[in-house]
């Protein structure tokens, strides 16, 4: 997976979001690009990750994620964007 770097060259942990059979699927990744397990611990970096950024693979996924961010308190702390946006 690709490393996600925000403004100021600061890498960020993130979720990769896709739609599978109409359902939102989010997979966590460390800022280094390593896939994370359920405990969010990165074996490569040896640290616990915190994902607050959701990278969406297409517009339909982004629309659904933004809907959840607006409507659900569980998503209120997240930011979302398309995979190819800088």
Domain boundary assignment for the chain: 5-82
Q: Is the dihedral of CA 26, 31, 36, 40 positive or negative?
A: negative
Q: What is the pLDDT of residues 45-64, one digit of tens each?
A: 999 999 999 999 999 999 99
Q: pTM for the full model? A: 0.84
Q: What is the pLDDT of residue 59?
A: 96
- For residue 6, pLDDT beyond 80: no
Measured distance CA(61)–CA(25) in Å, rounded:
9
């Amino acid at each position: 997976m690709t490393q996600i770097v925000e403004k100021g060259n600061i890498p960020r942990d993130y979720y990769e979001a896709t739609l599978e059979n109409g359902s939102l699927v989010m997979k966590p990744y460390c800022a280094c690009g390593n896939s994370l397990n359920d405990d969010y611990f990165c074996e490569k970096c040896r640290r616990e990750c915190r994902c607050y950024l959701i990278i969406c693979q297409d517009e339909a996924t982004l629309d659904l994620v933004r809907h959840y961010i607006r409507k659900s308190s569980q998503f209120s702390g997240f930011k979302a964007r398309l995979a190819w946006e800088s």
